[in-house]
Structure 1
Amino acid sequence: MLEDIKFSVSMCVYGGDNAQWFKTAVESVLNQTLVPNEIVLVVDGPVPDDLNAVILKLEENDTFKVIRLKKNHGHGIARKTGLDNCSNELVAIMDADDISARNRFARQIEAFRNYPDSDIVGGMITEFIDTPENVVGKRIVPLEDSAIKEYMQCRCPMNLVTVMFKRSSIEKVGGFIDWYCEEDYYLWLRMALANMKFRNVDNVLVNVRVGKEMYQRRGGVKYFKSEVKLQKYMLDNKIIGYSRYLLNVTERLILQVLMPNKMRSFIFQKLARSK
């Protein structure tokens, strides 16, 4: 029975998150067809009163384990803190402003039951602006391990906000390590180098809240430099060759530095959200 398998959900929230969006995200976790027996919430630094009120209410629920960090450390450290405090072997990631499909966790637990050698299971996402019904894009990723690892050579092959993984597998490769906007991609690369098994289910697991701010974060010189550093890591570890390295860097230079934000939004929504 799927209900016999215990798993944790790891969430992070910080002062810039919207209190109502966070509440909606939490409700999408609590109203699953298969519910977690533990939700670890890392509060990454001080938060405003309206957001703190939601967190204080959650602390009354025995399912929640709330860890408060005195200052904001960023996603990498916050996610590592969350993972360190999870009690179960299977851990799902959830963001503070997205909405999980009601059968998300059931689909993932079923995948682990059917493919027990998997170290991580993710899935597809849709992206919406303002209201969940206003879907503006869909990010499709490969399903099988070999295809995921091939896709990894050019783009991030897992949608972080959808993943559920074996805690022991993540810890074997060092867990989440801070890397500007790329701590997830960096983790998948280290897992691939350790010959771990990837899988994505062919279902939309999370509806992701997006907007112009997200596309701005996906551009700029700082983001580009972080991407180039990651591409160099892939080159040095023979995940890609030099020609693929040059192609990847050139594409990112155009998309992240030379392209205006409005055009970048169009590319991400219409062209960059498919296999």
Structure 2
Amino acid sequence: MRIGLITPEPGHPLLAEAAALLAAEHVVEALDPTPPGEAPVPVPRRPADVYLLKSGTPHAVGLARELERRGAAVVNSAAATALCQDRTEMAGLALRAGLPFAATRTVGPLAAWASATPFTAPLVVKSRRNRKGDLVARADDAAALRELARAWPGEPVVVQEYAPNSGWDHKLWAIGDQVFAARRRSELSPGGRGPNVPLALEDLPSGWAGLVREVGAVFALDVYGVDVIDTGGGTPLIVDVNAFPGVRGQSGAPAALAALTLRRAPSRRP
């Protein structure tokens, strides 16, 4: 079987370790979706049986769509990956499905909105497009919001009312049905983001692992992350969903990804 990795970083620990496990019996090939200049990335004449889509850029998603059209299986699908890159669409789907997702407003370019809107409550301001290096910041007052607007004037953003919490994010990941967990100081806390601290599933509040699997079903994802905060008494609030996150430092994650890859591959070439 031939297995493809759609990523500019095939050395990423999760991918590299899963690929090493798969390479014992299968051919594993990396496909960099980064376009040379403005030219589109050429699609292989003979696609692999299954691809792991570890990139959410428009070029990567477009490449994955074409590979799906030619009969290859892609994990996660191009459609599911694209959905998670748009926080407006993400929040809309989650709320329609009844998931406990943070209420989210789409307000357009940050500077124009901030200058025209009275400040009423602490806010979390996020780039509408979910990507590496995007804007995720807390504004406790009008001065803080103006500072963000000066730094990111034209950035299309969404806003969420800040929900009081412990200051810890719960980073929950799923690879197929297998759930992994860690705690991390929130990037919105005064001290800033800290390292991930692995967390046993039995130490999660009741129902949280099931909630993660429900997110996967709603978003049609196989490999994904769910960022959850505890708003009191174990009450979860989902603040983000990520397609194919890094799942770093989680024992068993590479083996779970290798097993999922083989399960998602078609039994024979179309």
Q: Common fold, TM-score beyond 0.5?
A: no
More helix by share: 1
In the superposition, the TM-score normalised over structure 2's length comes to: 0.29
Q: Which has the larger radius of gyration?
A: 2
Greater share of strand = 2
TM-score of the superposed pair, with normalisation by structure 1 = 0.29
